[in-house]
């Protein structure tokens, strides 16, 4: 008050709020609220129906054509055996290996970027680069992985090359989601910890990471699905077919469910012959993704419960 007089011109004449001219509107606030709400409601209903039909269709058709002998046998079309097990095993190993590489690496990178850098041009270039990488089509990653791992580093067509290629594909997303999770932890937690004489690392480990964990897990869950379903990126680096065996070694080619579907689709048989098998394969793929997600969610919830519900 002592510093400067306010120069708010409205106060001169003392206009009352109700006397001020009102602007015209198409809808009154209540009407637009109603419309907004019904749009939200109808879109969620639409989504639930589509999702329900989609999943229901796969599950019903998958269960209809379920055939354990088929699921647990190896592959050899020359004798008419389209066994699924090599592909199930390949998918499993692809998920586990690529996540095992990408998750810790991505988390550490995210911690470094959010907690140890203080902005600046280089960091924002890296940040922007990560954003762009997250949007690169997987087939391009596949070409890159083929050139780098299979050819240049001489890994050939192998499970290991596929792990590394998939990890490259997943890293940007894991880094991005982990960064978001870390950033959402209030600065006041960190300050409280530093004020007690904690080092940066201890603060991150005990105060910042636990509340960020659910967000980080969500990023990993999203990645699990992508690793399981990836077709193009692994096509270049070792996805293939082999006969009469479940597993071809880590430095050999592998089969996985998405590419198995592709093989079936391209096979001479046509829908009449392979339709059932394709349903079942899709069903098993979804089952695997869901069970991995379930495990991740259980781990997340348990770690939350251990710390109480914060």
Q: Which is nearer to another protein, 78 or 188 (CB)?
A: 188
Binding-residue total with another protein (CB under 8 A): 26
- Nearest Cα residue to 107 out of 17, 217, 197, 190: 217
Interaction of residue 183 with another protein, rule CB under 8 A = no
Return the residue of 85, 144, 189, 246 that touches another protein, per CB under 8 A: 189
Spatial neighbors of 241 by CB under 8 A, at least 6 apart, are 75, 253, 255, 263
Q: How many CB atoms lie within 10 A of CB 273?
A: 13
- End-to-end alpha-carbon separation of the chain, Å? 43
Q: Check if the beta carbon of residue 207 is closer than 8 Å to that of residue 189.
A: yes
Interaction of residue 266 with another protein, rule CB under 8 A = no
- Region near another protein per CB under 8 A, out of 54-62, 108-116, 152-160, 181-189: 181-189
Interaction of residue 205 with another protein, rule CB under 8 A = no
Q: Where would I find the beta strands (DSSP E) of the chain?
A: 75-76, 81-82
Interaction of residue 195 with another protein, rule CB under 8 A = yes
Interaction of residue 210 with another protein, rule CB under 8 A = yes
- Region near another protein per CB under 8 A, out of 121-129, 198-206, 251-259, 289-297: 198-206
Return the residue of 64, 191, 249, 251 that touches another protein, per CB under 8 A: 191
Q: How would you label 127-138 residue by residue, b for 16+ Cβ within 10 Å and e otherwise?
A: beebeebbeeeb
Q: How far is the CB of 270 from another protein (least distance, A)?
A: 58
Spatial neighbors of 44 by CB under 8 A, at least 6 apart, are none
8-state DSSP, 24: P
Secondary structure element (H or E) that encloses residue 291, with its range: helix 271-306
Q: Which is nearer to another protein, 211 or 269 (CB)?
A: 211
Return the residue of 13, 22, 24, 118 that touches another protein, per CB under 8 A: 118
Interaction of residue 303 with another protein, rule CB under 8 A = no
* CA–CA gap between residue 277 and residue 62 (Å, rounded): 8
Q: How far is the CB of 174 from another protein (least distance, A)?
A: 22
Return the residue of 21, 26, 188, 270 that touches another protein, per CB under 8 A: 188
Q: Which is nearer to another protein, 54 or 206 (CB)?
A: 206
The residues of the shown chain that bind another protein, judged by CB under 8 A, are 1-2, 118-119, 186, 188-199, 202, 206-207, 210-211, 307-310
């Amino acid at each position: 008050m002592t510093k400067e007089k306010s120069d708010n011109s409205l106060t001169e004449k003392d206009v009352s709020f109700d006397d001020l001219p009102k602007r015209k509107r198409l809808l009154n606030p209540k009407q637009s609220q109603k419309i907004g709400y019904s749009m939200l409601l109808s879109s969620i209903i639409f989504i639930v129906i589509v999702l329900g039909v989609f999943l229901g269709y796969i599950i019903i058709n998958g269960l209809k054509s379920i055939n354990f002998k088929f699921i647990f046998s190896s592959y050899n079309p020359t004798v008419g055996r389209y066994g699924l097990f090599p592909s199930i095993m390949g998918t499993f190993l692809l998920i586990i290996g690529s996540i095992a590489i990408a998750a810790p690496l991505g988390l550490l990178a995210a911690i470094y970027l959010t907690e140890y850098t203080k902005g600046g041009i280089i960091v924002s270039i890296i940040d922007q680069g990560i954003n762009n990488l997250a949007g690169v089509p997987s087939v391009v990653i596949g070409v890159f992985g083929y050139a780098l791992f299979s050819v240049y580093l001489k890994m050939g067509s192998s499970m290991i090359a596929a792990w590394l290629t998939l990890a490259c594909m997943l890293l940007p997303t894991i880094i991005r989601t982990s960064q978001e999770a870390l950033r959402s932890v209030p600065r006041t937690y960190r300050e409280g910890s530093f004020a007690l004489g904690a080092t940066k690392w201890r603060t991150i480990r005990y105060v910042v990471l636990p509340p960020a964990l659910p967000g980080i897990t969500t990023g990993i869950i999203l990645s699990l699905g992508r690793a399981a379903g990836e077709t193009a990126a692994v096509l270049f680096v070792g996805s293939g077919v082999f006969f009469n065996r479940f597993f071809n070694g880590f430095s050999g080619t592998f089969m996985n469910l998405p590419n198995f579907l592709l093989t079936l689709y391209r096979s001479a048989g046509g829908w009449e012959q392979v339709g059932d098998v394709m349903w079942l394969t899709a069903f098993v793929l979804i089952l695997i993704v869901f069970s991995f997600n379930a495990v991740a969610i259980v781990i997340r919830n348990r770690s939350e419960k251990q710390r109480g519900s914060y």
